[in-house]
Amino acid sequence: MKYQVIIVGGGTAGLMTAAQLRKANNDLKIALIEPSETHYYQPAWTLVGAGTYDYDKTARPTKDFIPKGVTWLKEKATGFDAANNIVKTEKSGDLEYDYLVVAPGLVMDYDRIEGLREAIDKGVVCSNYTDPKHTWEVLKNFKGGNAIFTQPTGAIKCGGAPQKIAYLAADYMRKHGLQSKTNLAFITPGTVIFGVKEIRETLEKIIDRYGMIFTPYMAPKKIDGKNQKVYFEFIGPDDKKPTFDGSDKLGAKELDNGLIEVHFDMLHLAPPQAAPEFVRSSDLVNDGGWLDVDQYSLQHKTYDNVFGLGDVAGLPTAKTGAAIRKQVPVVVDNLLKLMEAKKADNHSYNGYSSCPLVTAYGKMVLAEFDYDGNFTPDPQLKKMLISDSSKEHWRLWMLKKYMLPYLYWNKMLKGEKV
C-alpha cells in the first residue's frame, strides 16, 4: 500500500499535522499510524496530581480527532527504510510513502535509574508523568517528613513539570498545616531553577516563600522504594559541592561509593525519557537518539522528504504542546511546497516553547521562550490576560485550567491555528 503522506504518531503533533494538511488539500491520501484508542491531554496531569482536575476529563477517544479522509492505521510502526520510502508496521507490513512525518512522541526509559521500574507509582513514590492519580493519593496521605521532587539528566517532556507539582505540593502543605513538619526539596541535575532570566527571578522568590530546599547539580541514580531512600550523584564542579554529612535538614549522607543518600517520605520524579526504540534503532536519529531534523525547518537532515516534530525531534528547546503548535504550520508549509516541486524553504521555527508554571492553587507564571532563551511573551495573550506573564497571576491559572484545555480539544486538534 502506498500513501502520499504517512504520519507516524497520533499524539498532539501527528493529529495537528494531519488536520492542517487536510484543511490545505483535502485530496491528499494520508495515513496516520497510531495504536492507542485513547488520546490524553497530558498538560492537565499536573493539576490532577494536585487534586484540582478530573483525570477522566483528560481522556477522549482518538477516533474523534482523526480528520475526515485520513486513513487511521490502528497499529504500531516498527521501523523505517527511509532510503526506499518505507515504514514498517506491525500488521500491515511495509507501507510506501512520498512524504513521511515522524511524530510518535517519546517513551519512559525506566531502566536508566536503578530500582525505578520497581518503585514507580507504588507506596510514596509517584510521578505525574505516569500516574497523576497516585500522586494525589500520596500527597493527601502525606503527614510530614522529607518530600523530595526531582528529575533526571537528559531531555524530558515539559521540563518544568517536575517543579510545578513541587510548588502545588508546597501550597497544599501550607494550607494543611504541614509546612513546619516538612522538608520540601527540589533536587535537580540542572544548574538553575529555570533558564530564562525573567522567569528564574520570579521562581527564586517563590522557592523562598515556601522555604523550599533547592539543590542543583544532583542526578538521581538509584531508588530503594522499600526503604524509602533515593541516591544522587553530584555532577557539578568541586567548588559547588555541599558537604553531605547528614547534618542538613534532609539528612543527606555521602556514601563510600560517592552517591548521596536521602531518605524520603514522599518522592515525586520525572522518569528518564527517550525516543521510541523503533526510532532510536533507525538511521533517522542523531547521536543523542532523537530525530535528526533541521531546527528551523523540521526537515530531516539526510532525507528531504522526511519531517519530524514534537517530542521525538532533536531540537534544543523544551518538548511541549506549545512548541508543537508553532512547529506544525512550518512542517505543513514545507510539505506543500515539496509537493509543488518547490524547496522546503520555510525556516521560521525559532524554537518557541512555553511552560505554564503553576506556582500555587490559583496562581501561575507563563514562561515563553525561544532557542536563545529570550523571554518571548505572546502579544495577543499579553493584551488579553496580563501585562507581565513572568509574574504570578490568577488569570494565568484560569488560562491553564480552563482556556488551554478548551483550545486544545476544540481548536488545535482540529487543525485551526491558535
pLDDT by residue (tens digit) across 26-62? Answer: 999 999 999 999 999 999 999 999 999 999 999 999 9
Mean pLDDT (whole number) for 231-260: 96
How many Å apart are CA 292 and CA 274, to the nearest integer?
Answer: 14
Cell of 320: 511541549
How many Å apart are CA 230 and CA 252, to the nearest integer?
Answer: 10
Indicate if the pLDDT at residue 153 is higher than 80.
yes
Longest dimension (CA), the chain: 69
How many Å apart are CA 325 and CA 39, to the nearest integer?
Answer: 17
For 390-415, the pLDDT digits (tens) are 999 999 999 999 999 999 999 999 99
Q: Who's near 243: CB < 8 A, 6+ residues apart?
A: none
How many Å apart are CA 184 and CA 267, to the nearest integer?
Answer: 10
How many Å apart are CA 160 and CA 196, to the nearest integer?
Answer: 12
Average pLDDT of the chain, as a whole number: 97
Yes or no: say if 115 and 223 are a contact pair by the CB < 8 Å rule. Answer: yes
Indicate if the pLDDT at residue 384 is higher than 70.
no
Cell of 189: 541535575
- Give how far Cα 157 sits from Cα of 152, 272, 310, 324, Å: 11, 10, 10, 12
Indicate if the pLDDT at residue 386 is higher than 90.
no
The type of residue at 287 is D
Mean pLDDT (whole number) for 138-149: 98
**Active site residues per annotation:** 158, 355
Long-range contacts of 91-98 (CB under 8 A, 24+ apart): 92/1, 95/1, 95/2, 95/3, 95/6, 95/31, 96/1, 96/2, 96/3, 97/2, 97/3, 97/4, 97/5, 97/6, 97/31, 97/305, 98/2, 98/3, 98/4, 98/5, 98/305, 98/339
385 band by pLDDT with thresholds 50, 70 and 90: low
In terms of DSSP bridges, do strands 71-73 and 30-33 run parallel, antiparallel, or are they unpaired?
A: parallel
Cell of 170: 508546597
Domains along the sequence of the chain with CATH:
2-106+275-349 (3.50.50.60), 110-272 (3.50.50.60)
SS3 label, residue 228: coil
Mean pLDDT (whole number) for 65-78: 98
SS3 label, residue 115: coil
How many Å apart are CA 194 and CA 204, to the nearest integer?
Answer: 9
Confidence at residue 417, expressed as pLDDT on a 0 to 100 scale: 81
How many Å apart are CA 64 and CA 414, to the nearest integer?
Answer: 10
Alpha-helical segments (H) within 142-276:
161-175, 197-210
Confidence at residue 382, expressed as pLDDT on a 0 to 100 scale: 67
109 band by pLDDT with thresholds 50, 70 and 90: very high
Instruction: Residue count of the chain, please give it.
Output: 418
